[in-house]
A and B are shown apart, each in its own frame.
Chain A
Amino acid sequence: MTSPSDFTPLFSRRQVIQMFAAVSASFGITPQANAATVGVADTFAKGYGTDPTLTKLYKPGDVWPLTLNAEQLRTVTALCDLILPADDLGPAASAVGVPQFMDEWISAPYPLQQEDNPVLLEGIAWLNTEASKRFSKSFAELDAPQQATIADDICHITMAKPEFREAAQFFERFRSRAAAGYYSTQEGWKAIGFVGNITSATFDGPPAEVLKLLDVEQTVK
């Protein structure tokens, strides 16, 4: 059976692509900083349940309250930007809402996040204690080289000295979550090299230069 070329589906592929291009272009939000400065949550709010609306836009704080206080949020912001600064690959973490995402994460009512909660909160407190010990300032007030002297001691979990082991565990967890927050944004996609979420009339597979680089040929004709 070969398909005739003269039949048209109800929507042409071009129409569908246009429909969706319009929709995806209108969804460009950046989470806003949340002003709430509530203390550490000892009781957790409810989650979004098993049937949340999937087609609406959410921002941190929409489903459960954020719980970081202003001081904690400042520290989180400083660390996010130390890990993911603005550079030629893209904006800083704080420019794409990563600190607010971290707040949402730490405040979330689910097991994984609740397990992270004490690790991250204690780590944040540790950073400030350490900053004050070394420089008599809070972590956020330090300049970049000063922040780096602390970060260098805790950034590598297997190389960290015994007295920094626990802080290193915190750092790795924090970096991993911040990366999740950063690379889930459109700016993050650019930074990491993800291309997609955009309709196309054909799928051509990897471009010729990529095939050449890996010394493979496209085998699906």
Chain B
Amino acid sequence: MPIITPAKAQLEYDVAIIGSGAGGGQMAYTLTLAGIKCVMLEAGRSYDPQTETPMFMTGSQAPLRGAGTPDKDFGFYDATIDGGWDVPGEPYTQASSKKEEQFWWWRARMMGGRTNHWGRISLRNGPYDFKPRSRDGLGFDWPVTYAEIDPYYTKVEMLIGVYGTNSGMENTPDSPEGVLLPAPKARLSELVSQKFGKKLGIPFMPIHRAVLTKPLDWLNIPKKLHPGNQWAQKIVADSMMRRAPCFWATDCGRGCSISANYQSTTVHLPPALATGNLDIIPNAHAREVLVNDEGKATGVLFIDKTTGKEERIKAKAVVIAASSGETVRILLNSKGGKGIANSSGLVGRYIMDTVGTKVTGHVPILENVPPHNEEGAGGSHTYAPWWGYKDQAAGKLDFARGYHIEMGGSRSMPIGNNPVPDDLVRGSYGKKFKQDMRRYYGSIVSYACRGEMIPNEKSYCELDPQVKDKWGIPSLRWHWGWSEHELNQAAHARRTFTDLIESMGGTVRHDKTEAARDYIEPGGKIIHEVGGAIMGADAKTSVCNGWNQTWDVKNLLICDGSPFASNADKNPTLTIMALAWRAADHLIEQAKQGNL
């Protein structure tokens, strides 16, 4: 596997890719299978899910029984290494001291980025989601339509493997027949939510997640993904064959050593490396995209973190997929800090996250349920897509756009934390306490709002005039603000989830006097950071065109969430991959025509 040091790098590559997550991984996959020579720069260390994933490890085998700490924010066994809310030596700043104006910036620093531990929820944007401004006058339209992206959604779903069912619901697209893998059976709390949700008009149904509920059809899928390219088909078939289906145990957030779920490191990078067309340089922190006098990208200036020295790599085209904040930072730091691709002045503008708020409830009918295995596919099985389009059209709602509901039941593996809230046991101890714990375990449900944020002028990032990281690279400074749309949406979600829990005879576990500003999650907290280099129809009002290409630097592509012109309630990653695949196809086409 050509994972190399800078000294081993070739003199020049066709394409340099910054970042190895969902966007970078998809670019490397598509380009190398088309015969294009790529180098990938990844700021984090190399990572091998097969040997490093703590699949069946238990809390009692970990420090602090596996509880989360600032070193491992999401628990000891979470797949994240070296990344998190804080990255030592790499500070970022907030322009305001007010909490509601701050952005939580979660950063990955490892091969495969956030895809090693992400939730694997893989939803398509719908037709409305690409033309939101045309529908309600807010935010921006994308320069692409659903019909243009649809075939790429299908390709990505076939490649990574996504379970779920077609819902037929408004603006919640179906996949072509046979593309989705079978949905796993619903868990108890999910069925109960579905039953009571129905009475309130909330449609709980199977979610879509990138987990193999059966082996991928490696005989046929590669032919569909790479028609006419038998060499690519063989490589992809080999790689698909190596992925085992889910064995219905272990938390996907730890990663998957049998490659049953999607991680860039198990799905995108292995076939890309197998082509022989990819060199990966880990510990390579990109600082600037190099541009020549004609304004074309010529390569990347990066820090070799193993030596602390600056290195350069030459390429005919450059792809950035370092996650919105970091992508913005690289663009603004390029040309010695003058910035590139920014004639519009919009680099860093319109950063979006997802509207998040969560309601937890204690539901007595779920007490004392006979023990049974609910691990399933290591994450969510059930969700409710946004069901309010009709009410919205009828003017009944005080916010634009929608949210979907992600839910949690609680028969999951106890690890690191008390699995039952302290107050429920009413002061018991001894035998009584142990009986109480058994009684209440599994009786807690939670519903999370995942809603659309409309891009606004208050939410952006820029270079901090003073603060630099440990290599002397200027850091980012964040600005944030919600509009009434997001706050009203969070309030609607809170009311809805409260009604749902109370309809089950349950009690919500929050203070009902709080205002939306108190319970909306802070910006960035949902870690669906997109925007910052939005795509649009013209160079004055956007940074990228509809092919993820920057208007100003034609051979520079941005293939993470930065080009998103809106942030639908649908989690962003499937769309990042679909757009990246399409952008790669376009780049290949241009290369063929000698346009690079």
Question: Footprint of B on A, CB under 8 Å?
Answer: 1-4, 7-11, 13, 16-17, 20, 23-24, 27, 29-31, 47-52, 54-55, 57-58, 60, 62-63, 82-85, 87, 89-90, 96-97, 101, 104-105, 108, 110-113, 148, 151, 155-157, 159, 172, 175-177, 179-181, 183-186, 188-189, 191-207, 209-211, 213-220
Contacts and interface: CB of A to CB of B under 8 A. Distances in A.
Given A189-B414, A200-B247, A155 B191 contact: no
B59 A196 contact: no
18 contacts: A11-B244, A16-B258, A20-B56, A29-B60, A50-B81, A55-B57, A58-B62, A84-B434, A101-B65, A110-B64, A180-B416, A181-B65, A183-B437, A199-B249, A206-B372, A211-B191, A214-B366, A220-B186
A210 B188 contact: yes
A9 B418 contact: no
Interface residues of A, dominant DSSP:
loop
B70 interface: yes
A149 B389 CA distance: 60
Contacts of A84: 433-434
Interface stretch (B142-150, B212-220, B291-299, B554-562): B212-220
Nearest to A1: B178
A194 B412 CA distance: 7
Interface of B: 45, 51-67, 69-72, 76-77, 81-84, 88, 165, 177-179, 183-188, 191-192, 194-195, 206, 214-215, 217-221, 224, 241-245, 247-250, 254, 258, 365-366, 369-377, 381, 411-420, 422-423, 426-431, 433-435, 437-438, 441-442
A47 B248 contact: no
Contacts of B188: 206, 210-211, 214, 216
Given A16-B244, A50-B82, A110-B70, A63 B63 contact: yes
Contact of B411 (A47, A101, A194): A194
B187 A205 contact: yes
Contacts, number: 284
A203 B369 CA distance: 18
A146 to B, nearest CB: 14
A193 B441 contact: yes
Nearest to A87: B431
A57 B64 CA distance: 12
A111 to B, nearest CB: 7
A181 B61 CA distance: 11
A120 B248 CA distance: 39
Given A49-B71, A51-B81, A220-B184, A82 B249 contact: no
A192 B247 contact: no
B51 A55 contact: yes
Contacts of B191: 206, 211, 214, 216-219
B371 A193 contact: yes
